[in-house]
């Protein structure tokens, strides 16, 4: 519509997957409330070089603010520092860099989530058992923090042994492959902790192939709603539990606009997490179903308003033409 777009926000996502899509949807939805802003999205497909290229491109296109979820911390730090030093505000989401050259960070505490997973494992295994960890991309901060959290929690339980820790780069297909080869080597596994639900699903698939999925429990992170995702996996019993890793796209957009318009904002926005297990997965499924319906209604209202606005605009043109004649 005729509104002037005064601000352009560039979003550089490290990956394309259902979790990223949900965050992007939330950002787009929240942007409806800021007609003076336009958001452009780039997705790097888990590729550092591509993400550096994306950020350079957004800078060349003179975005007013950058939102970045850096694929790997070390490699992405210089280009983000470069943008920041040029005066472009930078909001880091979910993943961090090894530098304080950024404007704000928004995300859940990955160390705390890892620690809670460790405690959960200890209580489910009653202090004794063998654990396999399927980690996210090692160079990304959530993987490092989740690993450290779990390890610290398990220090209190000497009879729980982490027999293997393998990097599956946040991807389902890779988790299936690495867990498949692990199964052929590791005789006994009581618990599998995958750093996200997608990798838990991949590991589970490999276990099913050998008819061994009942021998062990699977725990993940993310707890997305929707068919095949975390909450459903818990409800169906495929996952023993998962932890909510909020996408927080609405907060991202709100923070971006506060920064751009000179309003106060938080430097660190801590999104909260919670355990999803058999006991609450059904309730969560019901509630997220309702939220989804409300979301669809909001989208419908937006479409209608746009429709009316266009009609109104063309009527005005007509009226003007009549008056002139």
Residues that bind ligand FRU (CB under 6 A): 15, 17, 19-20, 94-95, 136, 140, 142, 170, 196, 198, 221-222, 245
Closest CB to ligand FRU among residues 16, 36: 16
Closest CB to ligand FRU among residues 222, 232: 222
Closest CB to ligand FRU among residues 129, 246: 246
Closest approach of ligand FRU to the CB of residue 63, in Å: 22
What are the CA-CA distances from residue 226 to residues 78, 246, 255, 282 (Å)? 37, 14, 27, 12
Closest approach of ligand FRU to the CB of residue 193, in Å: 13
What are the structure tokens assigned to 314, written together?
Answer: 């063309």
What is the maximal distance between C-alpha atoms in the chain?
Answer: 90
Closest approach of ligand FRU to the CB of residue 142, in Å: 4
Closest approach of ligand FRU to the CB of residue 6, in Å: 30
What are the structure tokens assigned to 235, written together?
Answer: 């409800």
Q: Which residue has the tokens 């801590």?
A: 270
CA dihedral 213, 220, 72, 19 (to 10 degrees): 110
What are the structure tokens assigned to 203, written together?
Answer: 């590991």
Closest approach of ligand FRU to the CB of residue 38, in Å: 24
Task: Return the half-sphere exposure (C-beta side, CA atoms, 13 A cut-off) of residue 263.
Answer: 6
Position of minimal CB gap to ligand FRU: 196
Closest approach of ligand FRU to the CB of residue 13, in Å: 8
CB count within 10 Å of CB 18 equals 17
Quote the CA–CA distance of 60 and 119 in Å, as a whole number: 47
Closest CB to ligand FRU among residues 168, 206: 168
Closest CB to ligand FRU among residues 105, 245: 245
Closest approach of ligand FRU to the CB of residue 111, in Å: 13
Coil, helix or strand at residue 306: helix
Closest CB to ligand FRU among residues 44, 257: 44
Quote the CA–CA distance of 22 and 247 in Å, as a whole number: 7
Scanning the chain, the segments in alpha helix (DSSP H) are 18-31, 48-60, 73-85, 110-124, 141-154, 172-185, 197-209, 230-235, 249-260, 278-324
Coil, helix or strand at residue 28: helix
Closest CB to ligand FRU among residues 20, 147: 20
Residue 140 dihedral angles phi and psi, to the nearest 5° = -95, 140
Closest CB to ligand FRU among residues 18, 250: 18
Closest approach of ligand FRU to the CB of residue 200, in Å: 10
């Amino acid at each position: 519509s005729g509104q002037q777009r005064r601000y352009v926000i560039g979003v550089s996502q490290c990956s394309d997957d259902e979790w990223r899509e949900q965050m992007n949807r939330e950002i787009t939805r929240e942007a409806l409330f800021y007609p003076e802003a336009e958001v452009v999205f780039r997705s790097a497909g888990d590729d550092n070089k591509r993400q550096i290229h994306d950020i350079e491109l957004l800078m060349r296109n003179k975005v007013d603010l950058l939102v970045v979820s850096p694929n790997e911390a070390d490699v992405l730090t210089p280009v983000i520092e470069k943008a920041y030093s040029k005066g472009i505000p930078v909001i880091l989401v979910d993943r961090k860099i090894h530098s304080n050259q950024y404007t704000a960070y928004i995300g859940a505490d990955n160390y705390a989530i890892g620690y809670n997973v460790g405690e959960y494992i200890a209580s489910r295994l009653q202090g004794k058992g063998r654990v396999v960890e399927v980690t996210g991309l090692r160079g990304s901060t959530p993987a490092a923090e989740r690993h450290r959290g779990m390890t610290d929690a398990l220090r209190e339980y000497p009879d729980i042994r982490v027999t293997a820790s393998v990097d599956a780069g946040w991807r389902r297909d890779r988790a299936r492959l690495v867990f498949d080869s692990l199964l052929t080597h590791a005789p006994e596994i009581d618990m599998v902790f995958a750093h996200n639900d997608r990798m838990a699903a991949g590991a589970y698939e490999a276990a099913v192939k050998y008819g061994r999925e009942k021998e062990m429990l699977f725990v993940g992170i993310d707890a997305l709603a929707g068919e095949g995702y975390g909450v459903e996996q818990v409800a169906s019993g495929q996952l023993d539990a998962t932890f909510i890793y909020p996408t927080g796209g609405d907060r991202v957009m709100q923070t971006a606009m506060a920064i751009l318009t000179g309003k106060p904002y938080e430097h660190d926005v801590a999104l909260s997490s919670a355990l999803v297990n058999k006991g609450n997965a059904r309730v969560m499924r019901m509630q997220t179903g309702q939220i989804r319906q409300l979301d669809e209604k909001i989208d419908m209202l937006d479409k209608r308003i746009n429709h009316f606005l266009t009609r109104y605009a063309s009527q005005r043109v007509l009226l003007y033409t009549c008056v002139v004649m």
